[in-house]
Amino acid sequence: MRKIEIIPLYYDKEILPGDDLGKIIVELAEKTGISIKNKDVVVVSHKVVSKAEGRVISLNAIKPSQRAIEISMKTGKDSKIVELILREASEVLKVGDGHIITLSRHGIVCANSGVDRSNSGGPNKVVLLPVDPDKSAEKIRVRIRDLTGKDVAVVISDTYGRPFRLGVINLAIGLSGIKPFRDYIGKPDRNGYIMRVTQVAIVDEIASAAELVMGQGSESTPFAIIRNVNYEACNECSCKELIMDKDKWLFK
């Protein structure tokens, strides 16, 4: 029996620009009494990655554009936050009462381009997504390998809504060392029927599994280690592989 474990790493200090996340994770694992093993998956909330990379913006410094002011009036959102949402978007898809859905610069369809006010470190601050989450994941992975000699996978997670379903779930926005899919195409099922379409987005399921211990509020658990996941190691893989080309979208 291959039992999976989801191990929370509690950290109640504020992450500051320049903080060494790989080192923090290794130290927390030691403190928690588990040593990092080969093939562990380390899940990191994007928020601490953004903070370590200085992607926290003080709203005082933002001057909203005319377009941001217009969208602010339409949505009831703070015009300075709207300005940041526009800067982080490659395209605005939907604007309405209380919501702005964009295609983020990373290619993710999301609310507010991922610009987030919760757990930002202060009332007048917001957190933007990391500039290149795959690179952020790789940096943490290399650092963990340097410190421990262990080869892990790293997944950066963030919270997303769904178009036809209530509630948010965690998805992967960056990865290193792991193939994002578990691929069943061309493989037989139990009856020998050859499966034609199934690719499981395993990194998204890993991000969701980690959220069960990480939480969204005051839990102070920005890291989790998932142990015993059956995944394919991959050095050249990217979270961008999960992005569906716009010309394949069935809903607009």
List the interface residues with a second copy, window 17-46 (CB under 8 A): 32-33
Closest to 96 in 3D by CA, of 73, 126, 66: 73
Nearer to a second copy, 144 or 206 (CB): 206
Q: Does 121 bind a second copy (CB under 8 A)?
A: yes
- Strand order across the beta sheet in which 109-111 lies: 89-96, 99-104, 109-111
- Select from 53-61, 75-83, 138-146, 241-249 the region that touches a second copy (CB under 8 A): 241-249
CA distances from 151 to 70, 97, 174, 195 (A): 49, 47, 17, 32
End-to-end CA distance of the chain: 44
Strand partners, 58: 125
Q: Residues 200, 232, 233, 235: which binds a second copy (CB under 8 A)?
A: 200
CB 41 within 8 A of CB 226: yes
CA max distance for the chain: 62
Q: Residues 54, 118, 232, 233: which binds a second copy (CB under 8 A)?
A: 118
Write out the binding residues for a second copy, residues 151-190 only, by CB under 8 A. Answer: 159, 162-171, 180-182, 184, 187-190
Q: Does 212 bind a second copy (CB under 8 A)?
A: yes
In the numeric block, which tokens belong to residue 215?
């939480």
Q: Residues 131, 146, 215, 233: which binds a second copy (CB under 8 A)?
A: 215
Least distance between a second copy and beta carbon 91 (Å): 12
Closest to 203 in 3D by CA, of 214, 213, 192, 211: 211
Least distance between a second copy and beta carbon 218 (Å): 5
Q: Residues 62, 84, 85, 101: which binds a second copy (CB under 8 A)?
A: 101
d(CA 186, CA 196): 6
Write out the binding residues for a second copy, residues 54-93 only, by CB under 8 A. Answer: none
In the numeric block, which tokens belong to residue 83?
């300005």
Q: Does 49 bind a second copy (CB under 8 A)?
A: no
Nearer to a second copy, 63 or 164 (CB): 164
Q: Does 204 bind a second copy (CB under 8 A)?
A: yes
